[in-house]
């Protein structure tokens, strides 16, 4: 078992996942700006922000955008090179923001990213669309 554990490069996997996630966010950012420009909303396209890049990863969403009517869109991007049903990780904070800001928040799922990217959106409540399974726990001392 120790031999197997040594061969698995956890840091390398994490770095690849971060790079894939960043590339997905960048693509969604460009998509949002382009969609608003196509709708004649250059004013809103200029206001779209890459929140996770500019402010950090704790906002509960990655992109702050707008619908063409001016309503805010808070977009959490989840990217995979796998198929559309490949499991993904979502944080407690992302779920909390999804619940608190249901009308604004959405999950933008990019899949088959490195070959022929495809996408769809999920809107809260997420447990209508996916099974949420706790995979890690925080251990606090008494």
Q: Residue 62 is encoded by which pair of tokens?
A: 């990655």
Residue 49 DSSP symbol: E
**pLDDT 10s digits, 27-64:** 999 999 999 999 999 999 999 999 999 999 999 999 99
pLDDT value for 7: 67
CATH, range 14-126? 3.40.1350
CA–CA separation, 75 vs 42, rounded Å? 19
Contact predicate 84/109, CB 8 Å: yes
pLDDT at residue 9 greater than cutoff 90: no
DSSP state of 84: T
Q: How confident is the model at residue 131 (pLDDT cuts 50, 70, 90)?
A: very high
3-state helix, strand, coil in the chain (%, to 5): 40, 20, 45
Provide the residue ranges of all domains of the chain, joining segments of one domain with +.
14-126
Per-residue pLDDT averaged across 3-28, rounded?
83
Evaluate whether 82 touches 111 at the Cβ level (below 8 Å).
yes
pLDDT tens digit sequence for 54-107: 999 999 999 999 999 999 999 999 999 999 999 999 999 999 999 999 999 999
């Amino acid at each position: 078992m120790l031999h197997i554990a040594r061969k698995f490069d956890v840091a390398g996997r994490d770095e690849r996942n971060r790079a894939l996630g960043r590339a997905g966010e960048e693509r969604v950012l460009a998509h949002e700006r382009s969609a608003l420009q196509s709708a004649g909303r250059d004013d809103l396209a200029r206001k779209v922000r890459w929140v996770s890049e500019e402010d950090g990863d704790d906002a509960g969403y990655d992109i702050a955008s707008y619908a063409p009517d001016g309503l805010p869109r808070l977009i959490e991007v989840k990217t995979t090179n796998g198929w559309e049903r490949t499991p993904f990780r979502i944080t407690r904070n992302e779920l909390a923001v999804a619940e608190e800001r249901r009308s604004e928040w959405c999950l933008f799922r990019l899949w088959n990213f490195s070959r022929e990217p495809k996408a769809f959106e999920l809107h809260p409540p997420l447990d209508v669309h996916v099974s949420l399974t706790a995979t890690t726990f925080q251990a606090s001392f008494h």
